[in-house]
Structure 1
Amino acid sequence: MHRSDIRSAELSAEQTEAAGAALSHVRSYLGRHRDLAPVRVTVEDGEPELLELPREAVDLLATILAHMAAGRGVSVVPTNAELTTQQAADLLNVSRPFLIGLLKAGEIEYRTVGTHRRITASSLIAYMREDDRRRREAADELTRLGQDMGLI
């Protein structure tokens, strides 16, 4: 797989319904088989064929199906993928200039290739997790202050 390979999927209403049905089967299977053994899947398109999938891949499939069943588009990005500033901004749902400000402030690791900045998906994910943590802490602090003041 190429280092910048990003796969996206958008579904029709019919496909969204099919994703929901598949999700219920996958979750049911995973619930009954909690070990980390590979998952065997039989594909019946003409001659039946047995596939053996890593458990982690099936767990990821369940996550993908859940988003698709909810009508959300899904992108799969390898952790070592190098993103352009526009791709990274799109994943963060911010403007490119705002993202560049984050890069210059040292909030997200990146490297320069010629005059272009490249951000690894793993660096972007680390920033997103840290940003989520900070937001939760701020919300918790606001809740505590509201309770202390008798507003909540």
Structure 2
Amino acid sequence: MMDAASPVSASEHALAEVVELARLMEAKRVQRPKLIGPGGETLELPEPVFHLLHQVVTVLARGDAVTVVPVHKELTSQQAADLLNVSRQYLVRLLDQGVIPYSKTGKHRRIRINDLLTYKRKRDAQRQADLDELSQMSQDFGGYSQCS
């Protein structure tokens, strides 16, 4: 059995099946989704579980890996830095500036994944807005030539 926090991805062999499953989940609006076990037993899935599975299948179909982590899980500063793809020193600076909430266990900082993902969404949205503005400014000032 895999560690709950280990990333899971679809093998090359299974990718086509995952892509087809994603297409079917998107196309069919099932009233009461069900899970059928290896012995034929049927379990009705609560709607939130179905939506989570749909999200997982969609990500796997893109060829990405998925990790399911409880939102209250706490990360070390190195784990948080890795998730944001920044240095640990930069992350610690953000923590010390109060940009991302954290707690301390002894001398060690712990960051709730939910707080980290909230920061990441805001950061990514701001980056996209800045990029859009820069693109627009470049167009406005004739930075892109029209190709014929």
8 A Cα contact 2:33 2:50, kept in partner: no
The CA distance in 1 between the partners of 2:119 and 2:35, in whole Å, is 39
1:113 aligned residue: 105
1:122 aligned residue: 114
Letter in 2 for 1:92: L
Shift of 1:146: 1.7
Letter in 2 for 1:82: E
1:83 aligned residue: 75
1:17 aligned residue: 16
1:56 matched to 2:48? The reply is yes
* Match among 38, 43, 53 for residue 36 of structure 2: 43
The CA distance in 1 between the partners of 2:109 and 2:46, in whole Å, is 34
Q: Deviations over 1:99-125 (max 9, x none)?
A: 222212222111111111100011101
Gapped regions of structure 2 (runs ≥ 5): none
Any runs of at least 4 consecutive aligned residues in structure 1 with deviations exceeding 6 A, and if so which?
A: none
Between structures 1 and 2, the one with greater strand share = 1
TM-score by length of 2: 0.82
Q: How many percent of aligned residue pairs carry the same amino acid?
A: 37
Call closer, same or farther: CA 1:90–1:16 in 2, change over 3 Å: farther
Letter in 2 for 1:93: N
Deviation larger for 122-131 or 5-14: 5-14
Matches within 5 A, 1:136-151: 136-151=128-143
Letter in 1 for 2:82: D
The CA distance in 1 between the partners of 2:35 and 2:130, in whole Å, is 48
Structure ranking higher on relative contact order (CA contacts 8 Å, 6+ apart): 1
